[in-house]
Amino acid sequence: MTRQYELVERVLRYQPNADEALLNRAYVYAMKAHGNQKRASGAPYFSHPLEVAAILAEMRLDDATIATALLHDTIEDTDTTRGEIDALFGREIGTLVDGLTKIKKLDLVTKKAEQAENFRKLLLAISSDIRVLLVKLADRLHNMRTLEHMKPAKRKIIAEETMDIYAPLAGRMGMQWLREELEDHAFRSLNQEAYSAVVERLKILRERNQGLIDEIEAALTSKLEGAEVGSIVAGREKKPYAIWSKMERKQISLEQLSDIYAFRIVVPQVEDCYRALSVVHTTWHAVPGRFKDYISNPKQNDYQSIHTTIVGPRHQRVELQIRTERMHSVAEYGVAAHALYKDANGANGKSGVPSQDSSAYRWLRHLVGMLLDGDNPEEFLEHTKLELFQDQVFCFTPKGRLIALPRGANPIDFAYAVHTDVGNTCVGAKINGRPMPLVTELRNGDEVEIICSKAQLPPSAWQSLAVTGKARSAIRRATRDAVRAQYGKLGREILVRAFQRREKTFSEESLAAALGRLSQKTAEDVMAAVGRGELASADVVRAVFPEEKSQEPAKRRRKVKRTEEGWFGLGKVMGLKFRWPGSSGRPREEQGPISIPIRGLRGDLPVNFADGGAVPGDRIVGILNPGQGITIYPIHAEALKAFDEEPERWIDVTWDIDEDNPQRFPAKLAVTVLNEPGSLAQIASVIGEADGNIDNIKMTNRVHDYTEILIDLEVWDLKHLNDIIAGLRAKDMVSSAARASA
C-alpha cells in the first residue's frame, strides 16, 4: 500500500506548487473516517482510495483531484456529510466528491429503461467537471484489479458494467491504456475460457518468435539513425481482449492477425513523423490499404498518429505507429494529458488540471446538450453507445469541412452530422461528384454533397437506414412533429366546423383562454388532441363558452336501405357506418357503388374488431377481407401498414352510436405492476369501479420485481377508457398503464 509521504512526494515531483497540507489533511481525514472498515479481500478499506489516488498521481493530475480520490467514498460509506467536506476542504473538492457519490448509487446493468436513465445521470454528473470522470475511472480500475475477491454474481455485474460503459468511456476520452486494462480484466471475468485460450496461444507465439521484437526494434532504430531521425522505438504485444475481439469481428485465427506486435516510433517534431515514414516505406514493403494519417485528420478524442503496416524482418507483418512525444502522451492519457501541456502553452489555471476544451470533452458536452433537447433516455442511450463503440470514417463537405462518422455510416448520417435541417430536407447525395443512393456506405476521404429540397420531410423508414444515433433521433423527432402537425390540421378543421354549428368564430386566441379548463399547454396541443380523438370538439366548445348550454344539433340518421346483392347493412350491434370504396354518398340512382348505412348484423358480411380493439372516439378504418368480412382498426394501428399497397381494401368507417341504446366496445390495455400481494385485485377493483368489464387477463412477462399484464376489456367510449387508464396510473403499485395497439 502506498505510504502518505510517497503519495505527496510523487505529486510534488510534477506539481511543485501543490498544496502539501491539503493532501496530508485529506489523507488523515479519510483514514480516520474509514476506520476499521475492510474490503472483500480483507485489506483495510482505506487502501482503496489510497490506490485510486496513486493511479491519478501517475496521470499527473492536480492536488484537488488527488484529494478528491482520497475522500471519494467518505460521504457514501461513512458518517461524513457534504457540509463537512465543504468546510474542511473547500467547495471545489466537496462538489467533486458529491458527484462521485451520486455516480456510485447508479446501477448501470439493469433493464434497458432504467439503464438509460442511470447512464443519463452518470453523464450529467461528469459533464460539469471532467475530473469526476477521471476519479471514477481510476476507482473502477482499482476495483477491477481486485475483482477476484468479489462473489461470482457481483463480479459478473461489475465486469459487464465495465465492458459496456466504463471501458468505452475511457477510450472515448482518449485514455487508451486505461481502456485496455479495464477490458482485459472484464474479459477475464466474463469469459475465462476464451481469455485463457488467447493467453496460451500468445505464449506459444512468443516462444516461436523469441527475439523478434528486439530484432525489429534494432532494425528500425538503425535505419532511423542512419537517416538522422532522432527517435525512440518501442514494441508491444496486443492485449488479449483486443486480439479476441478482432478475431471475432473478422472471423480469422490468431495467426492471421497482422498486428499482434505493434511498434511505436516517437520523434521530437511533426515533420519528423513524415521523415520516419519515408525511411520505413523505402526500406520495407508497405502493406496496401493499411495506411492511415491521423495527424492530418485527428480522431474525435484528439488521438494523432500515422499508422502503417510493413513486411519487416523475418517476413513478419508489423504495425507501426509514428507520433511525437506530445501525441504519445495524448494517445495514452487522453484528456488527462492536456494538463501536462496547459502551462507550457501559456494557458491559465493550475498545473495538472485537465483542459475543458479538448475534443473529447466537447463530445461529452454535446451529449449533455442532447439530453437537454428532450430525447427520451432509451434514444439517448442508443445514440451514446453507437458513438462509444463505433470506429470512424472521415469524409468532407464540398467546402472542405471534415465530418467524422461511425464506420458503416451513409449519406443520411452525413447530412444530419452537417446540420439537422440538412438531414430533414435531404433528397439525394453525390459522392465524389457522382449521384449515389442514400444507403451507400461512406469510406475514408469521400467528398459528399447533400441535395436538399424544402418540400422534403424525412420518411420514417430512414430510422432503419441511419447508423448514427443523432440521425435516428432527429428522424424520430421529425416524424413525430409531422404526425402531430397532421393531427393538428385535422383538429383545427373539426373545431372550425364545431364552432360554426354554434354560430361562433373559431380562433386560436379563444382556445388559449380555455387552456386551463382543457388541461392543455398550448392551442396546438388542443387541436392535436382533437385530431387524435383524445378530446371531443363539444368539450372544447363548452370550455371556450362555459356560460352557454350545449346546443349541439341531434345527429341525423339515415334510413336503412337494401344493399346491393343481398348485403344488408351491418347495424346497431356494431354502431358503425360504412362507405363503400369509391362511393360519394349519393343515391344509387345517381352513381354506381352506394353508401351503406350500418344498422344490424344481417346478411353475410361479418364485422370484427382488430386485436387491440376500437372504441367510439377513435378515428377508425375498415379493411375488407374477401370471404371473411371486414376488420375494424383504429387509424393509428401499426397493423394498417401491411395494407398500404392495397387501397382497394380500405373502407371508410364512422361511428353511428345510438345514444338511447348504449353498448360496450373492445379495448386492450398493457399494464406493468410491481409484484406485491393484492396488485391484481387492485387493478380489477379500479376497472370495476369505473364500470369497465374485463374479458381476459394475460401475464406476458413475470419477473422477480414486476409483471407485465395484457387486459382485454369492454368500455363505453374513448373517454371511459382514458378514465380507467388514469385510475390505474394513480395506483402506487402500477408502474405504467397504456393502451395496447393492434
Which residue in 180, 158, 159, 157 sits closest to 168, CA to CA? 180
**Residues 458/421, Cβ–Cβ less than 8 Å:** no
Q: Which CATH superfamily is domain 4-195 in?
A: Hypothetical protein af1432 (1.10.3210.10)
The predicted structure's pLDDT at residue 584 = 40
Using an 8 Å Cβ cutoff, are 473 and 418 in contact? no
Coil/strand/helix, residue 630? strand
Closest among 56, 60, 49, 58 to 27, alpha carbons compared: 49
For 665-739, CATH number out of 3.30.70.260, 1.10.10.10, 3.30.1540.10, 3.10.20.30 equals 3.30.70.260
| DSSP code for 498 | H
Separation CA 180–CA 157 (nearest Å): 19
DSSP state of 354: P
The Cα–Cα gap between 168 and 161 comes to 10
Cβ pair 116, 378 in contact under 8 A? yes
Does the annotation count 76 as an active-site position? yes
pLDDT at 596: 33
- pLDDT, residue 384, reads 55
Residues of the chain with pLDDT under 70: 1, 104-128, 255-256, 258-259, 335-392, 548-605, 627, 658, 703-704, 742
C-alpha span between 707 and 624 (Å, rounded): 37
φ and ψ of 453, to 5 deg: -145, 130
List, for residues 280-305, the tens digit of each pLDDT value: 999 888 888 888 899 988 887 778 99
Is residue 138 helix, strand or coil? Answer: helix
Dump strand ranges (E) for 220-305.
232-237, 261-267, 285-286, 292-293
Catalytic residue, candidates 76, 86, 534, 723: 76
Strands 607-609 and 629-634: parallel
DSSP-assigned letter for residue 5:
H
What is the per-residue DSSP string for 501-560?
HTT----HHHHHHTHHHHT-SSHHHHHHHHHHTSS-HHHHHHHH-TTSPP-PPPPP-PPP
pLDDT of 271 reads 93
C-alpha cell at 155: 463480479
Of 93, 170, 92, residue with least CA distance to 335: 170
- Tell me whether residue 658 is one of the annotated catalytic residues: no
Which of 94, 124, 101, 128 has the alpha carbon at shortest distance from 26? 94
What pLDDT was estimated at residue 595? Answer: 30
CATH annotation of 196-342: 3.30.460.10
> Taking a C-beta distance cutoff of 8 angstroms, is the pair 471, 413 a contact?
yes
Judged by phi (left if over 0) then psi (alpha if -120 to 50, else beta), residue 55 lies in: alpha
| C-alpha cell of residue 36 | 476499521
Is the distance from CB of 303 to CB of 294 less than 8 angstroms? Answer: yes
Q: Which of 62, 63, 77, 712 is catalytic?
A: 77
How many other CB atoms are found less than 10 A from the CB of residue 404?
15
Q: What is the per-residue pLDDT for 611? A: 83
CA distance 40 to 151: 9
Separation CA 368–CA 378 (nearest Å): 14
Q: What CA–CA distance (Å, rounded) separates 16 from 148?
A: 38
Handedness of CA 585, 586, 592, 594 (dihedral sign): positive
pLDDT on residue 349:
47
Question: What pLDDT is stored for residue 67 in this prediction?
Answer: 94
DSSP states along 646-712: -GGGEEEEEE---TTS---EEEEEEEEEE--TTHHHHHHHHHHHTT-EEEEEEEEEE-SSEEEEEEE
> Taking the CA atoms of the chain, what radius of gyration do you get in angstroms?
34
Work out the number of other CB atoms within 10 angstroms of the CB of residue 225.
Answer: 12
Q: How far is CA 535 from CA 500, 506, 530, in A?
A: 18, 16, 5
Distance CA 332, CA 336 (A): 9
Classify 318 as helix, strand or coil: strand
> Which pLDDT value is given to residue 139?
92
pLDDT in tens, 111-149: 555 555 566 666 666 666 778 888 989 999 999 999 988
Q: What are the sequence ranges of the domains in the chain?
A: 4-195, 196-342, 478-544, 564-655, 665-739
